[in-house]
């Protein structure tokens, strides 16, 4: 099974979580701002920061352009100031392509201005590792 981890991170918080998720999967995290072509993928972890209540359009455009039959499963993780799940637009896009993401998402708090100093932190990373293991187990059946 080919697993890949992609992310879009303006400030580096999501990048840190993506690297933990990727390490757990035994792959390198792919920054979609730098690398546009997705390698052969069965299961795709998708990481995103949240800006003004939504993921960046760079990530949305990237997912919109993914060939529909390219990916069989997906799992979402976010970082944001509130730690709330704001993945609706991504979910709509993926569902439209016939990809149903894993039902649980990993939502970490990320540092933003004076809030959440030091986040994501080791506790967040451990949560991300547990999330990754859970998704891998579910996908492997």
Ligand X SMILES: Cc1cc2nc3c(=O)[nH]c(=O)nc-3n(C[C@H](O)[C@H](O)[C@H](O)COP(=O)(O)O)c2cc1C
Contact between 139 and ligand X by CB under 6 A: the answer reads no
Nearest residue (CB) to ligand X, 52 versus 68: 52
Applying the rule CB under 6 A, the residues between 99 and 138 that interact with ligand X are 110-112
Applying the rule CB under 6 A, the residues between 43 and 62 that interact with ligand X are 49-53
Q: Which of 82, 127, 134, 138 binds ligand X (CB under 6 A)?
A: 82
Q: Which long-range contacts (CB under 8 A, 24 or more apart) does 121-130 make?
A: 124/17, 125/16, 125/17, 125/20, 128/17, 128/20, 128/21, 128/24, 128/77, 129/20, 129/21, 129/24
User: What is the Cα–Cα distance from 58 to 5, expressed in whole angstroms?
Assistant: 16
Contact between 12 and ligand X by CB under 6 A: the answer reads yes
Contact between 14 and ligand X by CB under 6 A: the answer reads yes
Binding site for ligand X (CB under 6 A): 9-15, 49-53, 79-82, 110-112
């Amino acid at each position: 099974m080919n697993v890949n981890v992609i992310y879009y991170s303006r400030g580096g918080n999501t990048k840190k979580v993506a690297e933990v998720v990727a390490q757990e999967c035994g792959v390198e995290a792919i920054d979609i701002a730098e690398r546009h072509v997705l390698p052969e993928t069965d299961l795709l972890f998708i990481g995103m920061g949240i800006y003004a209540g939504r993921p960046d359009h760079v990530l949305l455009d990237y997912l919109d352009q993914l060939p529909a039959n390219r990916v069989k499963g997906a799992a979402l993780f976010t970082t944001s100031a509130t730690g709330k799940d704001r993945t609706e637009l991504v979910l709509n896009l993926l569902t439209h392509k016939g990809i149903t993401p894993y039902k649980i998402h990993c939502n970490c708090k990320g540092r933003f201005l004076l809030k959440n100093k030091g986040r994501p932190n080791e506790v967040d990373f451990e949560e991300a590792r547990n999330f990754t293991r859970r998704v891998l187990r579910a996908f492997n059946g």
